[in-house]
Amino acid sequence: MLTLAQITDLHVTTDRDPPNRRRNEDRLRQVLAAIHALQPRPAAIVISGDLVDRGEPQEYAALQAVLRTVDIPIHYAIGNHDNRAHFLTAFKTMGARTDPNGFVQYAVDLGEMRLVVCDTLEEGRDGGGFCERRAEWLAQTLDEAPDSPTVIVMHHPPVLSGIQWMDPEPDAPWIERLACVLRGREQVGAVICGHVHRAFSGRLAGQTIAAAPATSIQLTLNLTPVDMETADGREILVEEPPGYALVMANQGQITTHVCVAGDFPPAVTYTQPFRAA
């Protein structure tokens, strides 16, 4: 059995925004402590985008200061709050990698699980994108290991959460382009995402799409219609506990767990055998 921890939407920032810096770094440290305490300890951590809040070099430096305390290998994806060039400059000695076209896309063999990281950043836009060059790279990368249990990582979920102001257009060309690559890929156990600051799951092209909760604040679960041109005073973010996901590869199967970080007292302990002798 092998496990991988997924964290997402860290939104680390600087003292230009002191309250958010303290809150987001404290919540991130809480999640990292919970991951280090897991038994067994995960083989790696993947950060699925929105590492920082404004894509500034100073923010990536602040993030590096937090991550230096981590003694588990880390792999990175980027999101709409990131800046591709600034990320690659800051993390060139901390595992940043690209495909031949300069996108933050690469594959990692973790043993029982193959991790394939995709880049859905469209700079200047909040929404996701996946151009033909990225799709061609993904198809070629999946073709290289058709029998390896695979988890694909990307920031933007290509399915609807029901939180309308965050959702993509379901018929967006980038989603259909991605679906064409995913269709019939039996080695893909899950596509894991972030962006929505809330855990949810769906299906695309026969594949499970699983979004993880944020380490920063979560989105309020409000599935009522919204007018994107008229603010109606609704709550959009909430101080729910920080969270993460745990992805497990076991006997060729991929399973995902959604976890909440925090200190909770035990309710029941194992004092009697589960099976009588």
Closest CA to 236 of 210, 217, 211: 217
Q: How many CB atoms lie within 10 A of CB 164?
A: 14
Proportion of the chain above pLDDT 70, given as a percent: 99
Higher pLDDT, 277 or 4: 4
At residue 273, does pLDDT exceed 90? no
More confident residue, 17 or 140: 140
Parse the chain into domains and list their residue ranges.
Answer: 2-260
Cis, peptide link before residue 40, omega less than 30° from 0:
yes
Q: What span, in angstroms and rounded, lies between the C-alpha atoms of 66 and 46? A: 15
Looking at residue 4, what is its pLDDT?
Answer: 98
Q: Which helix (H) or strand (E) holds 139?
A: helix 132-143
Query: Are β-strands 114-117 and 150-153 bridged in parallel, bridged antiparallel, or unpaired?
Result: parallel
Using 50, 70 and 90 to split pLDDT, how confident is the model at 93? confident
**Closest by Cα among 57, 46, 37 to 10:** 46
What is the pLDDT at residue 276? 60
Check whether 199 has a pLDDT greater than 90: yes
pLDDT for position 275: 75
What's the average model confidence in pLDDT over 70-94? 96
Contact (CB, 8 A) for 197 and 221: no
Confidence of residue 46 (pLDDT cuts 50, 70, 90): very high
Let me know: does 246 contact 230? Beta carbons within 8 Å: no
Say which CATH topology domain 2-260 has.
Purple Acid Phosphatase; chain A, domain 2 (3.60.21)
User: What pLDDT sits at residue 272?
Assistant: 84
Question: What would the mean pLDDT of 57-85 be, rounded to a whole number?
Answer: 97
Segment 66-91 shows an average pLDDT of 97
Cβ–Cβ < 8 Å for 241, 31:
no
User: Which sign, positive or negative, has the C-alpha torsion 128, 131, 135, 141?
Assistant: negative
Q: Is the pLDDT of residue 228 over 70?
A: yes
pLDDT for res 277: 54
Mean pLDDT of 69-96: 96
148, two tokens: 């390896």
The mean per-residue pLDDT over the stretch 259-266 comes to 93
What does pLDDT average to over the chain? Answer: 96
Summarised one tens digit per residue, pLDDT across range 235-255 is: 999 999 999 999 999 999 999
Lowest mean pLDDT, pick from 117-121, 133-137, 260-264, 268-272: 268-272
Q: What is the pTM of this model?
A: 0.96
